């Protein structure tokens, strides 16, 4: 099979072809580089792009395979990594205008897992400055372009702003991101890809520039739930680098599923077409026998209220800058400066009180989720705005807070979360459906997502392809 055609196959099929010698990592890397050459200047997914280094890694993966050595399920697979992760041999900027010290350029456990498997690191994708924003804008390095609008530059979602874009560009088959209040799931929802936020503590955040240690989680974006399940199993320490070549986590039968539909605020003030697309997807699942019921979710509404009061991420980011990057303070863009400044307005007593309340809410939320295979709600209630529509601080603040409204629930309640594309809104932009589960529930959420994906189809089947993406 030609490399360009192979790139459109499920990740499990690509890995099988690599293992059986029917494809080479070098061919995959070259095909990804060719696609970046065609679309890279338009989509602007990457902060750091080094094709020579990617080709060296691909050749190493092929040499190991030729010698009969298989080091993991992602051997030779092209992967993009958010420029918040330290990667030995690559600079880290974390969205700031100045390169960070060498301590932030070392492999952490997640990147080390990819290295051990001889995955091909294609480049480092753009991030919002210090990961502090949900829209994906960056005035220092430019904002990646959402590939679903060929006429206007719409935001891609943040803070993992280049991750979903890199997948549609075709230069990567998986993309690593981070998620503090929605930074994996918002770009996944805005770009029509799949995003998995691991539960608190499931994946180590060592080696990743922090925003808020209490809320930070690592995660990944993928072209499909099946790819996300495969990638998760290959990276997750509990699975040990050896996901089977077929999907590592099987789909549940729809008739066996019990899905709670979160009620209240999370469905309010949605842009036209968003609630409708999410409801239609759930109705399709119900028609196949799944048991759906509305679930009161007061913990979510209180978590949103705490988020809207601000201060938690701001205080931790402010402390991080003071301790680690004091020289960067004067370089930070005004919008991010504004958000960090909130940290000085919260007392230590108030911060501790909020932490105590969040701990109590997290326990209640885990108990509520335990009775369901997943709790469902729209991922993001707004359509991706145009870059110029959020250039002013107040416009940005309003859109950013709305974009983060539903996704912040998972972080503030320490839940696991998965978003998958289920339709297009009234503007023709992707709509995500979010599934929530208790800590440690990644496999269960992925199995629910797989069941839904088998009914609805993957993004290209359900939504079509964005206009700024290669064919196939």
Question: Residues 206-261: pLDDT tens digits?
Answer: 999 999 999 999 999 999 999 999 999 999 998 865 555 444 577 789 999 999 99
Q: What is the mean pLDDT of residues 452-465?
A: 95
Report pLDDT for 238.
86
Nearest in space to 429 (alpha carbons), one of 219, 224, 188, 161? 188
Report pLDDT for 240.
62
Say whether 420 sits in a helix, a strand or coil.
Answer: strand
Q: What is the mean pLDDT of residues 144-156?
A: 98
Give a yes or no: residue 247 inside a domain.
Answer: yes
> What's the token pair of residue 257?
């599923």
- Identify the active-site residue in 113, 183, 383, 447: 183
Give, in order, the Cα–Cα distances in Å from 344 to each of 130, 231, 310: 17, 39, 11
Cβ neighbours of 105 (radius 10 Å): 17
For residue 379, which phi and psi values (nearest 5 degrees)?
Answer: -70, -55
Give a yes or no: residue 469 inside a domain.
Answer: no
58 in Cβ contact with 99 (< 8 Å): no
> What's the token pair of residue 73?
């399920």
58 in Cβ contact with 173 (< 8 Å): no
Give the domain range for residue 73. 3-462
For the stretch 320-364, pLDDT in tens is 999 999 999 999 999 999 999 877 678 989 999 999 999 999 999
Give catalytic status of residue 47 as yes or no: no
Q: What percent of the chain has pLDDT over 90?
A: 91
Q: What is the pTM of this model?
A: 0.97
Give a yes or no: residue 471 inside a domain.
Answer: no
> What's the token pair of residue 459?
């993004």
77 in Cβ contact with 173 (< 8 Å): yes
- Identify the active-site residue in 47, 82, 124, 197: 82
Give a yes or no: residue 341 inside a domain.
Answer: yes
Give catalytic status of residue 98 as yes or no: no
Res. 4 pLDDT band, cuts 50 70 90: low
Distance CA 4, CA 27 (A): 9
pLDDT of 180 > 80? The answer is yes
Q: What DSSP string runs through 125-165? A: E---GGG--SS---TTT--PPPTT-SSS-B---SSSTTHHH
pLDDT of 267 > 50? The answer is yes
Average pLDDT, the chain: 95
Cβ neighbours of residue 107 under 8 Å, at least 6 residues apart?
86, 87, 88, 115, 207
Give a yes or no: residue 467 inside a domain.
Answer: no
114 in Cβ contact with 87 (< 8 Å): no
- Identify the active-site residue in 12, 24, 73, 159: 159
User: For the domain that residue 92 is a member of, what is the CATH number?
Assistant: 3.90.1300.10
230 in Cβ contact with 243 (< 8 Å): yes
Total domain count for the chain?
A: 1
Cβ-count burial 265-294 (b if 16+ within 10 Å, e if not): bbbeebbebbbebbbebbeebbeeebebee
Give catalytic status of residue 383 as yes or no: no
């Amino acid at each position: 099979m030609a490399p360009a055609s192979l790139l459109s196959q499920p990740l499990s099929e690509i890995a099988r072809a690599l293992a059986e010698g029917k494809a080479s990592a070098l061919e995959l890397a070259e095909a990804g580089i060719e696609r970046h050459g065609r679309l890279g200047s338009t989509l602007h997914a990457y902060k750091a792009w080094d094709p020579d280094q990617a080709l060296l890694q691909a050749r190493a993966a092929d040499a190991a395979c030729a010698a009969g050595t298989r080091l993991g399920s992602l051997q030779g697979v092209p992967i993009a990594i958010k420029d918040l992760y330290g990667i030995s041999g690559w600079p880290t900027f974390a969205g700031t205008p100045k390169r960070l010290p060498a301590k932030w350029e070392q492999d952490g456990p997640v990147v080390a897992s990819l290295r051990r498997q001889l995955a091909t690191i294609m480049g480092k994708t753009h991030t919002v400055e210090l990961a502090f924003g949900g829209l994906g804008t960056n005035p220092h390095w430019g904002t990646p372009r959402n590939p679903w609008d060929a006429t206007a530059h719409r935001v891609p979602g943040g803070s993992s702003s280049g991750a979903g874009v890199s997948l549609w560009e075709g230069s990567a088959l998986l993309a690593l991101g981070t998620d503090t209040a929605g930074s994996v799931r918002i770009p996944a929802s805005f770009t029509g890809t799949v995003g998995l936020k691991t539960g608190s503590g499931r994946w180590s955040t060592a080696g990743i520039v922090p925003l808020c240690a209490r809320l930070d989680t690592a995660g990944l974006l993928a072209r499909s739930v099946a790819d996300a399940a495969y990638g998760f199993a290959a990276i997750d320490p509990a699975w040990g680098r050896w996901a089977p070549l077929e999907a590592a986590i099987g789909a549940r039968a729809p008739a066996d599923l019990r899905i709670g539909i979160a009620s209240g605020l999370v469905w309010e003030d949605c842009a036209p077409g968003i609630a409708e697309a999410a409801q239609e997807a759930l109705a399709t699942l119900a028609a196949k026998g799944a048991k759906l019921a509305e679930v009161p979710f007061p913990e979510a509404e209180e978590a949103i209220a705490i988020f809207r009061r601000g201060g938690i991420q701001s205080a931790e980011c402010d402390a991080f800058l003071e301790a680690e990057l004091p020289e960067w303070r004067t370089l930070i863009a005004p919008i991010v400066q504004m958000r960090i400044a909130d940290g000085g307005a919260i007392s230590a007593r108030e911060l501790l009180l909020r932490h105590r309340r969040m701990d109590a809410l997290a326990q209640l939320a885990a108990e509520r989720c335990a009775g369901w295979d997943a709790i469902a709600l729209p991922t993001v209630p707004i359509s991706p705005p145009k870059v110029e529509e959020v250039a002013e601080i107040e416009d940005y603040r309003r859109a950013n807070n709305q974009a983060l409204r539903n996704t912040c629930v998972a972080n503030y309640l320490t839940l696991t979360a998965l978003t998958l594309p289920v339709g297009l809104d009234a503007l023709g932009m992707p709509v995500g459906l979010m599934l929530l589960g208790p800590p440690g529930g990644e496999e269960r959420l992925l199995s629910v997502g797989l069941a839904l994906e088998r009914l609805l189809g993957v993004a290209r089947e359900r939504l079509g392809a964005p206009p700024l993406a290669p064919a196939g």
